[in-house]
Amino acid sequence: GACALLYSIIDVLILPTRQWLRWSYYIAEDEIHLRHGVWFVKETVIPMVRIQHVDTKQGPFLRRYELS
């Protein structure tokens, strides 16, 4: 009962916000650094020579500020 309710609140309201706030990236000259995680932080380094394709998406709000 109470444990399930507490777990649901954490899983639906708190954890997604924390995950979003803990996600970051850094683009260097020859690699991209991705960092994410709430309990365990994982950092991934991707060399630029390994990147073959990049998708972008632009909606009405991003288009207004010329972002994608």
Taking the C-alpha atoms of residue 20 and residue 38, their distance in angstroms, rounded to an integer, is 9
3-state secondary structure of 68: coil
pLDDT along the chain (68 residues), means of 10: 87 85 92 92 96 90 86
For the chain, the structural domain boundaries read 23-68
| 3-class SS string, 18-59 | HHHHCCEEEECCCEEEEEECCCCCEEEEEEHHHCCCCCCCCC
The pLDDT of residue 13 is 85
The pLDDT of residue 28 is 95
Radius of gyration of the chain (CA): 17
Taking the C-alpha atoms of residue 48 and residue 30, their distance in angstroms, rounded to an integer, is 5
The pLDDT of residue 36 is 92
The pLDDT of residue 33 is 97
pTM for the whole structure: 0.61
